Amino acid sequence: MEEEIVIASSSIDGGIGCWDLQTGTENLRYKSCASPPHGLTSVGRRFLASSQLQDAKAASGAILYWSWSRPQVEVKCFPEEPIKPLVANSEGTYLVGGGLSGNIYFWEVATGRLLKKWRAHYRAVTCLVFTDDDSLLVSGSEDGSVRVWPLLMIFDDHQMEQASQLYEHSFQEHTLRVTDIVTGYGGGNAIIISASEDRTCKVWSLSKGILLRNIVFPSIIDSITLDPGEHVFYAGGRDGKIHIGALSADSSSIKSHWLHIIGSLSSHSKTVTCLAYSTNGNVLLSGSEDGMIRVWDPKTHNMVRVFRHAKGPVSNIHVLKRPAYLNPRMLSNVQVSSRRHGLSLPPPLSKYINTMDEKVVGAVVNLQATCNNPLDASCTSSQVISCQIKELQQQGSAAAAEMEVEKLKLDSTQAMQMLQRWKKMYDNLHEFCVDELLEGDHVKSAN
């Protein structure tokens, strides 16, 4: 089992805390980060990226990058407007940010290009999530709507012109700001749960686009997380409790005042601001207004461990598999190599869509699918790859020669088989002819 780490950030400047979930030891603390809720993400587990809280008057936003090995900010990006939620797809090839004006920005990480920007909501975007297969993007907004964007549609200019709207579904039932969204398993067939300031959580079906369940809570829910079996979901409320909502669990036996609420975990005196679930350790993590991160055993409802993060409210918690960079044995190694490589992080995100390089083929780059040998892998864009391909075609290389040999070998075996077959057929024919002749002789002789 891979070890897991917890990363957490606060909405006041407390840096990004990083702990080992099993042992509880604290790793590096990455400095100067004040992120809004849903504003912290790990990009393909290669580095951390976070949007920053800013003055309301600030003209442009800020997104910062940290590499695992150094506590200082390494890359600073300044998008067009303040970005609140920030999310990367699971491979870490794209970063998506939601703006205050309701726009969604879509960047390619390796080049930093802004690939797409579109008007998604009437008011500020509050949260963004990818489905587990990265095909759909779900966004929630201050105007209470939850919208589902198929990436396929967004990058298909032809279809975009034809369709009257970009989104696949637009769920309007929430009356107030959407605070959190989680997606279940199953890509396009999954369920999503959205929490809102109207004190409800709603369960939607992505495939059918309908409301499956509406659960009213005794207080505003700021964060939700799913149990891995999708039996229940946990909802952290402003009343300091973590409520347990039933999904496929049977809630009929529990005589509760609130429909579909099975129970609650509580010890927080203050608002629960964020939640995360670690499948490996089977524990639930909750961040609170008082800056503590509590680790719960969801079965016994007991607190297992407490991490102290900052004085201000914890705004984000993520549970990640330990990236190789953070491996203590490799740490010195990493520093050496990162020094050798120079800046290992990708260039900053660009502010506007560059119309000049629209001609360039949309880059589809799979950056380091396996994170076990991350030090050798480098970010390559489509241009580099296409160059390499061209080179290969023109000059040929050892690999190409090998392939050629392989192909010739296959050809020869096929030819051999063919030869055998012909031979056999010839034999058969020969035998037949001989038989025929002999028989004819017999008949003649008999006559």
Partner 1 sequence: MAKSKGSSKKQQKRGIDFKKIKRKMGRKLPPPKNTTNTEIKSKAIVLPEQSVASEKAGLAVSKKGLTLKELLQHTSHHNAKVRKDALMGMKDLFLKYPEELKLHRYAVIEKLRERISDDDKTVRENLYQLLKSVIFPVIFYKQSKSCLLLDNQGPVISLMMAYIFNAMTHLAIDVRLMAFKFFDLAVQYHPPSFFSYAEKILQNYEDILWKNQFYLEDKGKLKNALAGLVRCLVLLPSSKEVNLLEKNVHEQKILHAFEPDVPIVSAEYSVIIKKLKDIVPVLVNCFQDFLPIVHDSLDAQSFDCMLSILRSIDLAKLLSVFPLCPTHRLSGKDDDRYVILNIAITEIFMHLSEWICPPADLFEKFLAFVEYVLLEKSCSYVRSGKTVREKQISTLIPFIPKLVSRVLGNWKHRLLLAFTKTFQDCSPESSVKLACLAAIEEMIISRKDLLCTDVSDSELFDYQITWIRELPTLLVLLGDKHPSSSQVVLHLLLRLGQHSLLYDEMQCLLKEFYSTYQDEGNICYGPFLRFARDSQELSICCLYYFSQLDSNLLKSIASCCLSHELDSFMLFRIIEVLHSAYKAGHIQISDQISFFITLVSRFKVFPENIFPATESNMKTSNRGTFKSLTNVVCSCLSQMGDNSIVFVILEKVILEQISLKPPLDNSCAMLRMLIALDTKPTRLSERSICSLSDVLSAYLIDVAHCVPEDGDEGAGSIHEQTRCYYLLPCFFLFDRSHKLLNLVLNVMGSSINGSSASLLSGYHIRYAKGNSSRINATVSVLLWMQRDAKVQQILYSFKEEIDHISRSICSLQSSEEINVSNKFITSVEGYGYCGYSISQSINRGELERLHNKVADNCEIRTQERRTALMVNEELP
Window contacting partner 1 (CB under 8 A); options: 202-210, 331-339, 360-368, 435-443:
202-210
> Which long-range contacts link 195-198 to residues 24+ away (Cβ below 8 Å)?
195/221, 195/222, 195/223, 195/224, 195/235, 196/144, 196/221, 198/144, 198/174
> Which has the closest alpha carbon to 120: 98, 135, 88, 94?
98
The residue within the footprint of partner 1, chosen from 69, 111, 271, 338 (CB under 8 A), is 271
Separation CA 398–CA 181 (nearest Å): 50
Binding mask 38-57 for partner 1 (x = CB under 8 A): ------------------x-
- Between the alpha carbon of residue 94 and those of residues 85, 247, 258, the distances in Å are 14, 31, 40
The residue within the footprint of partner 1, chosen from 74, 81, 143, 168 (CB under 8 A), is 143
Enumerate residues 407-436 that contact partner 1 by CB under 8 A.
Answer: none
Is position 197 an interface residue for partner 1 (rule: CB under 8 A)? yes
For 300, the enclosing helix (H) or strand (E) is none
End-to-end CA distance of the chain: 89
Binding mask 282-301 for partner 1 (x = CB under 8 A): -------x------------
The residue within the footprint of partner 1, chosen from 32, 170, 267, 382 (CB under 8 A), is 170
Enumerate residues 302-331 that contact partner 1 by CB under 8 A.
Answer: none
What string of DSSP letters covers 248-286? SS--SSS--SSTTEEEEEE--SS-EEEEEEETTTTEEEE
**Minimal distance in Å, beta carbon 304 to partner 1?**
27
Binding mask 108-127 for partner 1 (x = CB under 8 A): -----------x--xx----
The residue within the footprint of partner 1, chosen from 116, 213, 301, 351 (CB under 8 A), is 213
**Minimal distance in Å, beta carbon 247 to partner 1?**
6
Give ∠ CA 70-75-76 in degrees, rounded to 5.
130
For 146, the enclosing helix (H) or strand (E) is strand 146-150
**Minimal distance in Å, beta carbon 227 to partner 1?**
13
Cα dihedral 219, 199, 181, 289, rounded to 10, equals -30
Is position 142 an interface residue for partner 1 (rule: CB under 8 A)? yes
Is position 14 an interface residue for partner 1 (rule: CB under 8 A)? no
Which residue, 122 or 432, is less far from partner 1 as judged by CB?
A: 122
What string of DSSP letters covers 16-79? EEEEETTT--B---B-S----TT-EEEETTTEEEEE----TT-SS--EEEEETT-SS--EEE--
Which residue, 57 or 329, is less far from partner 1 as judged by CB?
A: 57
Which residue, 141 or 264, is less far from partner 1 as judged by CB?
A: 141
Binding mask 228-267 for partner 1 (x = CB under 8 A): --x-------x--------xx-------------------
Window contacting partner 1 (CB under 8 A); options: 28-36, 66-74, 171-179, 301-309:
171-179
Is position 128 an interface residue for partner 1 (rule: CB under 8 A)? no
Cα dihedral 151, 154, 159, 165, rounded to 10, equals 110
Q: Is 419 left (phi over 0), alpha (psi -120 to 50) or beta?
A: alpha
Is position 191 an interface residue for partner 1 (rule: CB under 8 A)? yes
Separation CA 86–CA 41 (nearest Å): 7
Which residue, 144 or 346, is less far from partner 1 as judged by CB?
A: 144
Which stretches of the chain bind partner 1, using CB under 8 A?
Answer: 56, 119, 122-123, 142-145, 164-166, 170, 172, 175-177, 191, 197-199, 203, 208, 210, 212-213, 219-220, 230, 238, 247-248, 270-271, 289
